[in-house]
Structure formats: structure tokens, C-alpha cells
Amino acid sequence: MSDGDDVRGRLIQAAGPIFAEKGFAQATVRDICAAAGANVASVNYYFGDKEKLYFETFSHAHRCRVRQTPLPPFEPDQAPEEKLRGFLRSMLQRLFEPDERTRWEHELLLRELVQPTGIMEPLFEEFFRPMFTLLTGIVREFVGQEPSEADVHRLSYSVLGQCLFYRVGEHIVRKMHDQPELSREFTSERVAEHIFEFSRSALQGYGKPASMRAGPTGREADA
Amino acid sequence: MSDGDDVRGRLIQAAGPIFAEKGFAQATVRDICAAAGANVASVNYYFGDKEKLYFETFSHAHRCRVRQTPLPPFEPDQAPEEKLRGFLRSMLQRLFEPDERTRWEHELLLRELVQPTGIMEPLFEEFFRPMFTLLTGIVREFVGQEPSEADVHRLSYSVLGQCLFYRVGEHIVRKMHDQPELSREFTSERVAEHIFEFSRSALQGYGKPASMRAGPTGREADA
DNA sequence: ATTGCAGTGAAACAGTTGTTTGGAACGTGC
DNA sequence: GCACGTTCCAAACAACTGTTTCACTGCAAT
């Protein structure tokens, strides 16, 4: 609904990328209306005020994402390795979303997660929690022994942090590499594979002291 | 210099936390002047305009940080484990900075790193690069075999991403835990120790296929 | 005492913002 | 034709922004 060429739909479609790029405060209704080819007054006519337009735009993005990318495919009998790999592939694909038309939806959701305006408060459980619960479940499968709740969270944050870095640290990454290398070496697939390898090693080594881990190189930990 | 109770110094001191909290665009010179107990005109009188005040505030923060926390202590003959631990401790201490008077300095630098206004462009090499070079050096020491440049970067991003998560994902962390647990389980020391363990396991397992890890067998390289 | 000048502050200025207004345009049902 | 409600628009509005103006202070040098 509301994707047509009616003004209301056009406003949401125009507002999405602008809110995603500049944030709520920096985006102006004049910019949005100009991009939508609509009059300045139309925002207030159709939505009441700017904040309600933001809310509608946000929940539109949320609904689209839930519908199109429900969650990483999970099979209860899969090995935890494959679950983790699937989770990371899905996550990185979202963060690296190449499709111009839908990228802003991820950006908007992520922006709200990192610097909340408060609009997501009610949707937090629905949007973020399922993804996080899935991750903690995978982590728990990896870590054989009984870890504390705080440990599971820290481990999950470690996995999640690696992923989010490529979005929040985008400017850093872009500055450290020239364009051709960036597009060659930092595709969503390669980064996902890297984070998978990194995290698998870490998770499997969890709880084992340094001297017990690692192979024959025997770089024993002491100084 | 310029920390006294002269108006110029007070303006910088007042502007720091406000810029750090709200960002350049959202912070108003009226707010800053009110906080500094100065007249609205004083910003333009002493700095020319708002942007130059931001620049002065930023480089003040930069200079203070460089002076007070030069870099994690490095000794060339230390074991890579101890270097990594030291690096992470120092990094997390900065991110968790408890001192009200200096916290904004870290926040401002980090904000500029994540969503640059462009002011840091010339200081990027001076501020970020040394820290990153130190990290890549440690990573290289861990990974025995000769890794590609891109691999070293990805590994370093994995370490860095885990740290930055506790700042950019602050709202997430805060939402997932009730207050008392948060302050007990998520101190800078505990988080640093966790990221250290996680990363050490991962780095030592780098390049070894899954089937080969955890056992005292030979080391092969793939891909 | 007078001059010169850096510092101060209340007020005004010009631009941008979200929002409101009053009426024009349009189609629909009588 | 005519009344009616919806949609649209140019203009205006009020609040807020960074910036400027200008008269005034205090004080040191003349």
C-alpha cells in the first residue's frame, strides 16, 4: 500500500532516502517535498507534521524489511557453523545492500538503532530482539560449557560489532583503501566469510586457556 | 592553553560537551554561549564563526588526548599477547571514560570519525592512523604466516569493531541490560578482557581450517 | 582630562525551518 | 447549473538559526 504515484506514497518514497542520509533533524520538509514533486504543505496535509511522516516512513521501511528479508534461514538440525555462516551472510548482505531502491530502508533502521530518536522504542522488541535472540542461540550452541548470560551477550556483541563496523566505520574503511581494492576485497561475501572464520575460531576457543589452544607453533602465553 | 576563565577558553570548554552530544549542526551558538555565560556575539568576536569555534574545540580535544593518552604503552620485546591486551585496555578505557570533564573529548573525536564533518580530514593521519598502525602491527605478529594486506585490515577491523560497538551500540547495550548488571558486568576492564580473549583465540586460529583446530596437529594454509 | 581600544551586550538582521492559511482547481452527485 | 468535499498550491507566519551592528564599558597611554 501507498507505493503508487499518489502524493502520499511519493512523499514516503522521497522521505526515506533523505531521512536515512541526513537523519530526522537535518532533513527538511522542503527537500523532501521537492524530491517528491509535491508542495510544502502536503506533508502537513497528509501526515499532520514532520514527525508523523518520519514515523510512517520508518514503519514502511520496517514492514518492507520484515517481509522481504524475514531472517536468516535457520534449520534446527543444521550445524552451528552453518547457522553462523548463514547469519553473517544475511547480515552483511543487508549492510552492503547494493540496490539503490531499498538501501535506505536498512540505513534508516540502523540509524535509528545507533542514534535513536525514540520512534523505534515500541518496535525495538519486534525489530532487533529476534535477530539478537537468533545470534545468542547460535553462540550458545558453539560454547559447549555453560556460559553466563553476560558472557553470551559479550560474545554476541563481539560478532555483531564486527558486522556493524563496516557500516558505522564506513568512512574509515573507505579512507584506508582505494576504490578498486575496496570493491574487490571488501564485498559482502568476503567480509562475511572473514567474520565467520574469525568468530568461529574465537567461539571454539572460548573458555580454553591459551596454553591449551592453538596448534603446534606453541606460542605459549607468558612473558 | 586557553583553559582559563577568559571568555575564549570558557567558550571552548562549554562548546565541547555540546558539540560532542548533539553534533555540529544541532548545537546552537546560543546554547554554547549560555553554557559559557557569555554573550551570543562572543563566538563571532573570538572565533569568526561557528565553524571555526568547532575547529578550535576539536583540535583542543585532539591535543589534550594526544598529550594525556599518548598511545598504549608498547615495548618492542613484549609478547604480542601483552601488546594486544594493553592496546585493548587503553582503547576501552577511552571509550568508557568516566571523567565528566574529559569524556566529551573522546566523544567528539569519535563522532568526527563516524560521521565526519570534514574538519578531521587533515588530522586523520595524525589522529587515527598511528592507532591503526599499532593495531595492524600487533595483528601481524599474531598471524605467523604471511597474510595479505587486505587480510590484516579485515582482522584489525574485527578487533576494532568489537571495541567501537560499545560506543556506537551504546543504546543497544543499555537496552539489553538492567542498570545494576550493566555496571557490574560491563566495565571497561571486563569488556577489554573479553575482547582480548575473543580476539586472541581468533587470531591464533587464523588460517587453520576448522577440522584442524583445537588439536595439536600440523598447520596448513588454505586459500 | 582626553584619546584609543579591546571587550561586552542588547538588539536587530537575514536566512532557514516547520507549519498554517485562504483560496483556486477539480471531480462528484444533485 | 450548483453545491460540496477533496486535493493542491503560493504565500504568509512564527519560531529559530548564525551573524552583525552599535553604543557602551573599563582601562591604559598620552
User: According to the 3-state scheme, what is the secondary structure of chain A?
Assistant: CCCCCCHHHHHHHHHHHHHHHHHHHHCCHHHHHHHHCCCCCHHHHHHCCHHHHHHHHHHHHHHHHHHHCCCCCCCCCCCHHHHHHHHHHHHHHHHCCCCHHHHHHHHHHHHHHHCCCCCCHHHHHHHCHHHHHHHHHHHHHHCCCCCCHHHHHHHHHHHHHHHHHHHHCHHHHHHHCCHHHHHHHCCHHHHHHHHHHHHHHHHHCCCCCHHHCCCCCCCCCCC
- Name, of A156-160, A204-208, B66-70, the range with top average pLDDT: A156-160
Is some CB atom of chain B closer than 8 A to the CB atom of A40?
Answer: no
pLDDT of amino acid B147: 87
Q: How far apart are CA A192 and CA A207, in angstroms?
A: 24
- Name, of A156-165, A174-183, B86-95, B214-223, the range with top average pLDDT: A156-165
Q: How far apart are CA B57 and CA B178, in angstroms?
A: 35
Q: What percent of chain A has pLDDT over 70?
A: 87
Q: Tell me which chain B residue has its CA closest to the CA of residue A178.
A: B150
- As ranges, strand C nucleotides with an atom below 7 A of a protein CB are 7-12, 16-22
Give yes or no for a contact between B158 and A194, defined as CB atoms under 8 angstroms apart.
Answer: yes
Q: Rounded mean pLDDT of B42-70? A: 93
| Distance from chain centroid for Cα B195 | 15
Higher pLDDT, A124 or A75: A124
Max CA separation in chain B (angstroms): 72
Mutate to test the interface with A, among B198, B199, B208 (most CBs of A within 10 A): B198
pLDDT of amino acid A194: 98
Q: Rounded mean pLDDT of A66-70? A: 77
Assign B126 a pLDDT band (cuts: 50, 70, 90): confident
Indicate yes or no: CB of A176 within 8 angstroms of CB of B212: no
Backbone angles phi, psi at B174, to 5 degrees: -65, -30
pLDDT of amino acid A210: 54
pLDDT of amino acid B221: 41
Higher pLDDT, B144 or B118: B118
Give yes or no for a contact between B145 and B221, defined as CB atoms under 8 angstroms apart.
Answer: yes
Q: Rounded mean pLDDT of A196-208? A: 89
**CA of residue A32 to C1' of nucleotide C16, angstroms:** 15
Q: How many CB atoms lie within 10 A of CB A101?
A: 10
Q: What percent of chain A has pLDDT over 90?
A: 72
- Whose grid coordinates read 555453560? A146
Is some CB atom of chain A closer than 8 A to the CB atom of B165?
Answer: yes
Higher pLDDT, B56 or B214: B56
Please write the tens of the pLDDT for every residue from A120-178. 888 888 888 999 999 999 999 998 778 899 999 999 999 999 999 999 999 999 999 99
Q: Rounded mean pLDDT of A202-213? A: 70
pLDDT tops 60 at residue B3: no
pLDDT tops 50 at residue A1: no
pLDDT of amino acid B123: 85
pLDDT of amino acid B66: 83
pLDDT tops 50 at residue A18: yes
pLDDT tops 60 at residue B122: yes
Q: How far apart are CA A85 and CA B21, in angstroms?
A: 37
Mean per-residue pLDDT over chain B, rounded? 88
pLDDT tops 60 at residue A181: yes
Q: Tell me which chain B residue has its CA closest to the CA of residue A148.
A: B185
Q: Rounded mean pLDDT of A97-119? A: 92
pLDDT of amino acid A77: 80
* Closest of B101, B6, B93 to residue B45, by C-alpha: B6
Q: How far apart are CA A139 and CA B144, in angstroms?
A: 27
pLDDT of amino acid B216: 42
Indicate yes or no: CB of A201 within 8 angstroms of CB of B201: yes
Higher pLDDT, A21 or B220: A21
